[in-house]
Amino acid sequence: MDTSSTRALTLFAVAVGSLLLFGPLTAVVLALVGLDIASLIGITPPYGWALVVAVLAVTLWAFAVAGEIAMIRVHGVRILHRGDSRLRMAGRHLLLVVPLVAAVMKLTPLVWLLVRDGLTQSNPVYVGITLAFAVAIAWTAIRTLRAFRRGLTIES
């Protein structure tokens, strides 16, 4: 296989992988947080055409996030700064930050509940799940920060 076809297959795999891994998760998190925010400000959940528009908006946002993540995986973090318009660069950052904040909003109560129940129960299964969850979060955070720092160092 020549270099161009290998590169094309790699780009295709990264795009499909990002779409399958991040698209559905982003859509679910954005929809759940959108419903939470709507209930906080007193808006009833959408139905009919409003529901179709809401689902379409969340789906398009999820596709855009998956595309930007694929671009970052292929070209590095600096790809977010492509183009000459500061507004578009800010939009790309906002496109990725909103689902990240939404995920933190949905995961924080779950983690708190798991840690609280795991530490207050004398059941070793709860304690084991809590410790495994805490180790997984710490390991993921450390790997992400190291990769981010390495990516910035390489691209500088």
Given a cut of 80, is residue 148 above it in pLDDT?
A: no
| Separation CA 140–CA 148 (nearest Å) | 12
Identify whether the C-beta of residue 80 lies closer than 8 Å to the C-beta of residue 68. yes
pLDDT for 153 equals 65
Question: Is 23:65 a contact under the CB 8 Å cutoff?
Answer: yes
CA neighbor of 97 nearest in space, from 57, 50, 61: 61
* Long-range interactions of 40-47: CB distance < 8 A, separation 24+: none
- With cut-offs at 50, 70 and 90, classify the pLDDT of residue 74: confident
Q: In terms of residue numbers, what domain contains 46?
A: 3-155
Q: What are the distances in angstroms from CA 142 to CA 19, 55, 76, 94, 108? A: 24, 34, 18, 23, 18
At 14-60, the pLDDT tens digits run: 889 888 988 999 999 999 998 888 888 888 877 888 888 888 999 99
pLDDT band at 78 (very low <50, low <70, confident <90, very high): confident
Give the mean model confidence (pLDDT) for residues 116-130. Answer: 76
pLDDT of residue 56: 92
Residue pair 43/117 in contact (Cβ under 8 Å)? The answer is no
Which residues touch 6 (CB under 8 Å, ≥6 apart)? none
What confidence score (pLDDT) does residue 60 get?
94
Count of domains forming the chain: 1
* Cβ count within 10 A of residue 54: 18
Mean pLDDT of 102-127: 79
